[in-house]
Structure 1
């Protein structure tokens, strides 16, 4: 709430800029006085602009802190299941046992997709990128689940949130199976959320007694939790901006998936493995790191735009990575390469002074590769996990009055000029 004012002085005239304080974080200036003064504020990339008020997620990049509804991410990842985190994002608190049982039951009822939706996949080429498929099929949900289209109804909004969280693993696994030319696997509600996803990904109709490795299932559940939400990032802001028009939630989430697809946003863990391919062998690592110091190449998976100290998700992901590699007993040259990079980054003063620590993308890419998930699916899994955060922000936006998003611009094009007939144009 605003409790004091800053002053904007333009042409010797003063304008009040109310100072707003949240429960955590920096104070925010209400910049509406800029319009009264005849100015817009210029902020490329919205780096110092707070277009929304939210109670869902808080990040302190200096401290390396990430809170979901006040709960630290490392505590959630180590102690809670992903669906419990989903419940907290949606409702504000972790569920008690009764609430948890009810929520899990509701999610289980909606894991299957409409049978006609399965036919959508046949319209894609087999070599289509799974993210291209996800953008299409998630947006197409609005053609099958009409109750979610009336965004004015709170009950409809809640059902839509459940549906999205429940169906994203099914659609993600279907996009993978289609690219492999394998039959789709129906969800099984005797598996938990992560187990069900892995079953739909890797089982076949011939696997009558398919069992999921519990270490892998635990790792996948943590990957989901560690990617569930991340405040007002590019894709979440896209979902909110699309939602501000009154667009249906499936279209909004599809827009978020499209934004996440960008290599600067959701493709970081895929970029890590590409970098490892380019390094080639362990023997090349020292030379590569010297090139990094000379700024000749980029070191992917280290440091973070938001976290200026360390990524609070990375330590949990590292522990999970170690557990998975040990359980699977994998002897992969690329993974050995990654561990050598990690060792140098954690010991070399150059990287320590610049706080270039391994981030969540570095370890998640290694885990997913070890599990046997192709790089083309990395961002799909990211979108699966982030859907909970996206729909939570969409619900929060619809719980109070909001305005359609309308950013301004600094126009640098031609001034007004008259039309010239083609025969008179030079």
Structure 2
């Protein structure tokens, strides 16, 4: 009997069936249950798919125990230190870092796609003035499918690549316009001489009234946030994009589905929840009260931005943004801001308190990104929007990989627990 198999014994009929063990380039092996129903007449029950590999992927690897995040094999901390966001976009799409010539051509193509159609811009006026920017983002990204449908053949790798260029280039423009609409300010067109991060900040904060100069510190921080959020394996929103895309839906409709999935506070909305929590605490003096509540298993209060479902060690993205947060606070003059004193004190407690250390409840990427974005003057309802802009490259790369591999349409099964078959009474009414 091969050691690279798992044998399942069915005690109902004293039958044994072998399933092959598959080995990836990193991480734990899996056993392939593709033919489980055919061989045993059984499905598996795995709520949330936490023990199920839903696909094969070459893009991102996470080792939660060791605190490792790799994009195409490269450690994310090296990419943040040595590359910018568009170079990472090229890597995620193509599998390798670009040469100098490839880098220039990639930037040229992305730059040529940054504007959105003027008719699309008119769509914003259909939203209430106080609409959440994520609601606008879901709608406008989905509306891209109305503008780019006849020209897309998802079976053609070149067409898929053009769709990727459009998503990468237009997401900052769409997101910045959502912010401007919420603020009641005129939309700002892209400036192609700026870098990706600089252009996004310009479209958010510039007005026609005067010249806006992008802070290099803010631009670098935004670039880091975008790289660190670019992809994160098969999370809820990425799985949503792959599942929606598996029906061969328009790619922009699939990305819109991913935006909707990201919106939840248990996923992309977590950094927004961090700032709400800091405001609820209100002052450094009240921190012990909330720490006590966080430790009480009977209290529903939870410290947002601490711990992670995947990382059982320090989130490697958080280690990078921890340094960036301090640079931003210093550069933006928030040394005396009470909100950031609360954040720093919570960070100190989490890194030293025996309860937090034992449970490995370290500050995660949402904690630091929320602090950074707030210091940059970005309102909390834009935090998840910026997450979506950053993650859009991961979504489109994962979609492209899924379509190119011809996985077929996704179709999870279920354990039905409702009524067994029953007949409707002759009268059509429930009997007394």
Band the TM-score falls in, shorter-chain normalisation: over 0.9
Does the 8 Å CA contact 1:133/1:175 hold for their aligned counterparts? yes
Equivalent residue number for residue 390 of structure 2: 385
1:46-125 matches, cutoff 5 A: 46-125=49-128
Does the 8 Å CA contact 1:321/1:363 hold for their aligned counterparts? yes
Matches of 2:151 and 2:288 in 1, distance apart? 54
Equivalent residue number for residue 402 of structure 2: 397
Provide Cα deviations, 1:375-404, integer angstroms capped at 9, x if missing partner: 110100000000000000011112222111
Provide Cα deviations, 1:304-341, integer angstroms capped at 9, x if missing partner: 01000110001110111111111111232111111111
Matches of 1:260 and 1:349 in 2, distance apart? 32
Matches of 1:374 and 1:40 in 2, distance apart? 46
Matches of 1:276 and 1:329 in 2, distance apart? 19
Distance 1:84 1:3, change over 3 A: farther
Find the residue that maps to 2:405 and give its secondary structure. coil
Matches of 2:399 and 2:337 in 1, distance apart? 41
Number of aligned positions between the proteins:
424
Moved over 4 A (4+): none
Equivalent residue number for residue 325 of structure 2: 321
Matches of 2:264 and 2:343 in 1, distance apart? 23
Equivalent residue number for residue 425 of structure 1: 431
Q: 1:144 aligns with which of 131, 141, 147?
A: 147
Does the 8 Å CA contact 1:148/1:248 hold for their aligned counterparts? no
Provide Cα deviations, 1:27-80, integer angstroms capped at 9, x if missing partner: 111112420201100100000000100000000000000000001111111221
Provide Cα deviations, 1:236-287, integer angstroms capped at 9, x if missing partner: 0000001110001000000000000111111111111111111111111122
Equivalent residue number for residue 165 of structure 1: 168
CA deviation after TM superposition for structure 1 residue 109, in Å: 0.3
Matches of 1:413 and 1:397 in 2, distance apart? 34
1:368 paired with 2:370, answer: no
Equivalent residue number for residue 409 of structure 1: 414
1:303 paired with 2:289, answer: no
CA deviation after TM superposition for structure 1 residue 424, in Å: 5.8
1:311-350 matches, cutoff 5 A: 311-330=315-334, 331-350=336-355
Find the residue that maps to 2:4 and give its secondary structure. strand
Matches of 1:34 and 1:18 in 2, distance apart? 11
Does the 8 Å CA contact 1:65/1:312 hold for their aligned counterparts? yes
Deviation larger for 158-167 or 24-33: 24-33
Deviation larger for 5-14 or 166-175: 5-14
Matches of 2:155 and 2:3 in 1, distance apart? 33
Deviation larger for 43-52 or 400-409: 400-409
1:203-352 matches, cutoff 5 A: 203-207=206-210, 209-295=211-297, 296=299, 297-330=301-334, 331-352=336-357
CA deviation after TM superposition for structure 1 residue 155, in Å: 1.1
Q: 1:20 aligns with which of 22, 26, 31?
A: 22
Scaled by the length of structure 1, the TM-score of the pair is: 0.97
Does the 8 Å CA contact 1:170/1:197 hold for their aligned counterparts? yes
Distance 1:185 1:424, change over 3 A: closer
Deviation larger for 274-283 or 384-393: 274-283
Matches of 2:149 and 2:429 in 1, distance apart? 54
Matches of 2:110 and 2:101 in 1, distance apart? 14
Deviation larger for 342-351 or 257-266: 342-351
Q: CA RMSD in A?
A: 1.2
Matches of 2:187 and 2:409 in 1, distance apart? 40
